[in-house]
């Protein structure tokens, strides 16, 4: 069993972080973590990130402008550190110590938790909103992770998922061949079915948008059905 004693992480409950006994997911290892953000520095990557952020902001607004946000599968904290600069109280959680180590370098003050989306080490209703950005695709049991997210969220969930019906598929991961191969992409309707099945009576409303045109094709507009990114907001019943 691998132990991660040297990880600088914080437990949101204020106590010492439990050491997680599973092995580092090989997919998001140190090599991937080190170059994970490179693509988002390319012209298309910058534009995709800008458009993904706009969707996330719109959905956070739809959920009433939450104060506290847990990002599950935060990776290098690309979204968590941006949101924390926008006056949200953000905590990032990830199962990969390598991705969290990179996040720690990039955002030394951001609270980070080493943990598993399928069994969140967080109490009920601890956050206004739980956010997933391109993480559900990589989980063994995304339905279980949605149930866990709904357990810890008071208001709702914001989900960003790569669109299986995109023209370009997951172009962003072409440079990370193994990463792309491992992701289980969804169609917009599949994502909504997954949410409704997993959360059953807890769903009060769902809204979604599809965008981020492939190849940076500006003429397609920021919202296009064959875009790479599905953004979905889920409002929860108390
Ligand atoms: C494609 S990355 C997305 C990272 C970040 N959300 C972003 O948009 O840049 C997927 C992340 O999910 C994490 N992950 C995969 N399985 C997980 C699990 N069971 N629990 C928590 N995080 C997980 C990976 O370690 C990885 O950092």
So what's the pLDDT on residue 178?
A: 44
Ligand 1 near 25 CB (within 6 A) = yes
So what's the pLDDT on residue 43?
A: 85
CA end-to-end span of the chain: 39
* Spatial separation of the C-alpha atoms in residues 7 and 112, rounded to whole Å: 10
Torsion angles phi and psi, residue 168, rounded to 5: -100, 0
Q: Give mean pLDDT in consecutive 10-residue pieces for the chain, a chain of 238 residues.
A: 32 33 60 89 87 95 97 97 94 95 95 96 97 93 96 98 74 48 79 95 95 69 77 96
Atom of ligand 1 nearest to the CA of 78: 9
Closest CA to 169 of 140, 139, 212, 205: 212
Closest CA to 59 of 212, 235, 203, 218: 235
Atom of ligand 1 nearest to the CA of 183: 1
Torsion of CA 103, 107, 109, 114, to 10 degrees: -10
Closest CA to 227 of 185, 180, 181, 164: 164
Q: Ligand 1: which of 37, 90, 96, 136 to mutate, most ligand atoms within 8 Å of CB?
A: 96
Q: Does residue 117 contact residue 141 with C-beta atoms inside 8 Å?
A: no
Ligand 1 near 233 CB (within 6 A) = no
CA atoms lying within 13 Å on the CB side of residue 134: 24
Atom of ligand 1 nearest to the CA of 140: 19
So what's the pLDDT on residue 180?
A: 52
Ligand 1 near 96 CB (within 6 A) = yes
Ligand 1 near 138 CB (within 6 A) = yes
For the entire predicted model, the pTM comes to 0.86
Atom of ligand 1 nearest to the CA of 132: 6
* Spatial separation of the C-alpha atoms in residues 54 and 112, rounded to whole Å: 24
Instruction: Write out the two tokens for 104.
Output: 């720690």
Residue nearest ligand 1's atom 14 by CA: 73
Print burial letters for 140-163: b (CB count within 10 Å at least 16), e (below 16).
eebeebbbbbbebbbbbbbbbbbb
Atom of ligand 1 nearest to the CA of 36: 9
So what's the pLDDT on residue 23?
A: 36
So what's the pLDDT on residue 109?
A: 94
So what's the pLDDT on residue 163?
A: 87
Q: Say how many Å lie between the CA of residue 75 and the centre of ligand 1.
A: 5
So what's the pLDDT on residue 165?
A: 79
State how beta strands 203-211 and 153-162 pair: unpaired
Instruction: Write out the two tokens for 129.
Output: 């909103």
Beta-ladder partners of 156: 129, 235
What number of H helices and E strands is found in the chain?
7, 7
């Amino acid at each position: 069993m691998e132990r991660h004693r040297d990880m600088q992480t914080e437990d949101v409950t204020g106590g010492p972080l439990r050491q997680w006994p599973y092995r580092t997911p090989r997919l998001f290892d140190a090599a991937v973590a080190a170059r994970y953000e490179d693509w988002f520095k390319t012209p298309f990557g910058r534009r995709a990130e800008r458009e993904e952020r706009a969707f996330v902001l719109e959905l956070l607004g739809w959920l009433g402008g939450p104060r506290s946000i847990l990002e599950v599968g935060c990776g290098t904290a690309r979204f968590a550190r941006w949101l924390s600069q926008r006056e949200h109280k953000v905590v990032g959680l990830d199962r990969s110590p390598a991705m969290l180590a990179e996040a720690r370098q990039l955002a030394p003050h951001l609270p980070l938790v080493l943990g598993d989306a399928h069994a969140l080490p967080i109490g009920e209703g601890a956050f206004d909103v739980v956010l997933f950005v391109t993480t559900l695709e990589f989980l063994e049991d995304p339905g279980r992770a949605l149930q866990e997210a709904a357990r810890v969220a008071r208001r709702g969930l914001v989900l960003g998922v790569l669109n299986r019906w995109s023209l370009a598929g997951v172009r962003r991961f072409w440079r990370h061949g193994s990463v792309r191969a491992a992701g289980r992409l969804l169609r917009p309707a599949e994502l909504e079915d997954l949410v409704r099945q997993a959360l059953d009576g807890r769903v009060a409303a769902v809204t979604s948008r599809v965008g981020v045109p492939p190849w940076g094709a500006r003429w397609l507009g920021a919202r296009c059905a064959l875009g790479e990114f599905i953004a979905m907001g889920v409002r929860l019943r108390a």
